[in-house]
Amino acid sequence: MTDTSRAAVRTDDVWKIFEHDGMAVEAVRGVTVRIDPGEFVVLAGPSGSGKTTLLNLFGGLHRPSRGRVWVDEQDISSLSEHDLSRLRLERIGFVFQAYNLLPILTALENAEFTLLLRGVPPEERERKVRALFEKIGIDGLEDRRPSKLSGGQQQRVAVARAVVGEPALVLADEPTANLDSVASGALLDVMTQLNRELGATFVFATHDPELIARARRTIRLVDGRIASDTRQ
């Protein structure tokens, strides 16, 4: 049973202000939100609405200008860089639009990279990755390097890397943007399956209408503020 007493991520009156050409740009403006374990959530909105900035605040890639952010009930707003890096390694999985796979590593080596950084023994790393590759339909591709994989296959490897360590939170920034409709649909099937079977919490920043349609909760941002928060 999901423990809803602990939020996967929550914020209290979070602001993010950037300096640009001597001007203050308010990218996120006073956002208070809670996302519970096991949710499948989309941050939607027009370009410049603040959805990617908010996603990066959730992941500790940006520090808030004001307000506080908690991941798995740990206040990350004032952590040292070392502690924040450790939390990202252990508790947060990232899926990027550009895949961010290391070209010199095989698919298996890319997917096990976070486990390697955690000090997980080689045999256990390989076992976990091979089991996950089979689950998401890319078994047999373990020894291929990214240049020998399709875009959809590379993104599945990236998803495997994000979830293999069973993080509290998986953050994905436009994960389907570089995929055709077939590969995009297949990837969404995979992430929906992982959300259901592993209980992984997914939060996406996206323009993709198919992904928005599949989300069980859609948080729409306009001008850095939450305009609506709907469940379906």
Q: With 90 as the cut, is the pLDDT of residue 185 above it?
A: no
Lowest average pLDDT, out of 11-15, 31-35, 175-179, 219-223, goes to 175-179
Residue-wise burial string across 71-104, b where 16 or more C-beta atoms lie within 10 A, e elsewhere: bbeeebbebeeeebeebbeebbbbbebebebeee
pLDDT at 186: 86
| Residue indicated by tokens 């959809």 | 152
pLDDT at 1: 41
pLDDT at 97: 81
Instruction: Give the separation between CA 78 and CA 55, rounded to whole angstroms.
Output: 17
pTM: predicted TM-score of the whole model, two decimal places: 0.90
**Mean pLDDT rounded to a whole number for the chain:** 91
**Cα–Cα distances in angstroms (integers) from residue 34 to residues 6, 41, 86, 124, 201, in the given order:** 10, 11, 23, 34, 12
Instruction: Give the separation between CA 228 and CA 218, rounded to whole angstroms.
Output: 8
pLDDT at 194: 86
Q: What's the mean pLDDT in 57-84?
A: 92
| Helices within the chain (DSSP H only) | 51-58, 81-91, 107-111, 113-118, 122-135, 151-163, 181-198, 209-214
Output the CA torsion 111→95→2→115 (10° steps). Answer: 30
Lowest average pLDDT, out of 28-32, 44-48, 106-110, 123-127, goes to 44-48
pLDDT at 182: 85
In this structure, are residues 44 and 206 in contact, taking their beta carbons and an 8 Å threshold?
A: yes
If pLDDT is split at 50, 70 and 90, which confidence band does 2 have? very low
What confidence tens digit (pLDDT) does each residue in 85-104 have?
A: 999 999 999 998 888 899 99
Instruction: Give the separation between CA 163 and CA 64, rounded to whole angstroms.
Output: 26
**What domains sit in the chain, N to C, each tagged with a CATH number?**
37-62+81-231 (3.40.50.300)
